[in-house]
Amino acid sequence: MRPRFVSVRLATLGIIAAGAGVAACHDATAPAGPRASMRVLRQDAPTDTVLGAPAILVLQIFDGAGRPAAITPIDFHGAVLARGNNTQFDLYIAPDTARPTEQPAATRTLLTDGDGRIAVAVLRRVIAGRPAVTISSPAIGALHDSVVFVTTPGNAVAVQVFPSDSATTVGGAYALGGVAIDQWENQRADPVTFTIGAQQAVGPGTNANAPVATLDGQTLRGLQTGRVRVDATSGTASGRGWVSVIPMARLAAVDPALAGNELPALVLINTDGSAIKRYGLNRYSEGHPRWVPGTGRIILENVPVNGSDPAATPRLAYVDTATGAFTDAVPSATGINGEYRPAVDARTRSLYFAAVTPVPSMQPGVSIYSAAADGSGFTFVGPPVDPYTGVGEPDVSPDGASLAVRRNGLLMRMDLATGALTRLGARPEADDARWSPDGTRIAFREQGLYWIINADGSNERALAEPTLGGDVFPGHGGLDWSPDGGWIVLRANGSLQLLDPVSGLALPLPGTSRLVGAVWSR
């Protein structure tokens, strides 16, 4: 007497939780020879929404000779679906169809009945698309086939504006993008409508009572610098994004490449995120670039190629932004240990920088040195070397008469004629001081916050609200004034920002999340 096996209605019915598609298809890459095959006898709900009810799939399996494959193990696999950097099975198989949500598994092997039939329940999960249930059985002539179950998105719950924060220039146009999504972020094909919400003019010469931008359909046009909120709707679902209207300028910054085996790079980028150029730096280089006015060159720190550890000392190098060529900025036989934090006199293009001076029988001390633009005339500037009162991070005043420097964490002004040092302000940890183009103010950073002070030491005040956090990478920082003094570029809240030093309001720059130490082209 032939043994009896379970039919479609019995408890060996398995469960597959899958994610999409509609028809059976054969694997064209299966090996040559007798082929097993299958016939779809029943497919419930070939199209349904995410988390739809279990759908019955009944198959009949045939061996390579075309006979029903009785009592044969059949493997069921769900498609591996990807979303961003994550992948997951969107099907599961449970042994008991009466309780389809118990003991699920991503794959399962089940037996056909005496007529080669087998039944499973396909349970959709939360990713929309067209994944397939794959059916295979090496035991009967390399069966490899699939059945697709289309899975559509759920109801719209929000509108995703992409990118969520972007920029255009005054007079420029920007095409808005957006899509309705369900609660699992599956995208829907519903139309999206955009309107301008709140907007605020920011920066010199703006009119607070005039619009920052206009909107025609999906095209936003910048009228004056500022910040615009964009509201997006699709039926009852809504979302919002932001667009900065910014002045067009060219910046130089550093990608410190702190993750993995990447090397740091000097990056040139327009304020709207366009026209990016990269120039590789050697490992452990921090850069701290400065433009050399009127030359198309940048001077920066670059650790020599043979630098093998984080303590390797950098040399100053010029970078020709037209050719990418690197050349040493000062002679190598100077008797100092490394060259740091370059600054350029805008009038003469002469250089000022910090360096460690070896001192017999003493700890080395940090002092300021200078050189002509061609590296000649290497000169000790001061102050006298003292390991306990090192001076670094110089910036030259526009008239060339003074340096703003850091001494033991304090902001100081050094008179280049006399060498006299005068403390400015009360902040105990001042970094990255920069003179305003008119020489009347100095902006600086302290522990991630930004400050400004008059050049005579008066009127020290916060440059921006504490919510504009410095967010600098370890060992990096930097800020710089625009040539007209109307803006300061700095890093805050995860990207480069253009800060209006009068209002303290800032405009984030797109595509700059990895960049630090930005300086304005001159």
The 3-state DSSP composition of the chain as helix, strand, coil percent (nearest 5) reads 0, 50, 50
Domains plus CATH for the chain? Answer: 14-152 (2.60.40.10), 158-246 (2.60.40.1080), 424-508 (2.20.25)
Outline where DSSP puts E strands in 30-164. 37-43, 47-49, 55-62, 73-77, 80-83, 86-89, 107-111, 117-122, 132-137, 143-148, 150-152, 158-162
> Can you give the pLDDT at residue 7?
37
**Distance (Å, rounded) from C-alpha 14 to C-alpha 30?**
26
Do 265 and 253 form a contact (C-beta atoms < 8 A)? no
> Can you give the pLDDT at residue 513?
86
Q: Which of 360, 268, 353 is nearest to 313 (CA)?
A: 353
C-alpha distances out from residue 458 to 364, 404, 411, 452, Å: 34, 15, 13, 10
Q: Which of 321, 397, 336, 333 is nearest to 369 (CA)?
A: 336
Three-state DSSP state, 62: strand
Do 336 and 354 form a contact (C-beta atoms < 8 A)? no
> Can you give the pLDDT at residue 2?
36
Do 353 and 340 form a contact (C-beta atoms < 8 A)? yes
> Can you give the pLDDT at residue 82?
66
Query: If the chain, 522 residues long, is cut into consecutive pieces of 10 residues, what is the mean pLDDT of each piece?
Result: 36 41 42 76 91 88 93 87 64 61 74 92 84 88 88 94 90 93 93 94 91 94 95 96 93 82 89 91 86 93 68 84 91 76 92 78 72 89 64 89 88 91 86 92 85 92 69 63 93 87 87 90 86
> Can you give the pLDDT at residue 199?
92
**Distance (Å, rounded) from C-alpha 363 to C-alpha 322?**
42
Q: What is the DSSP letter of 138?
A: G
Residue 211 tokens, joined: 């619009």
**Distance (Å, rounded) from C-alpha 417 to C-alpha 435?**
18
The Cβ of residue 92 has, within 10 Å, a number of other Cβ atoms equal to 22
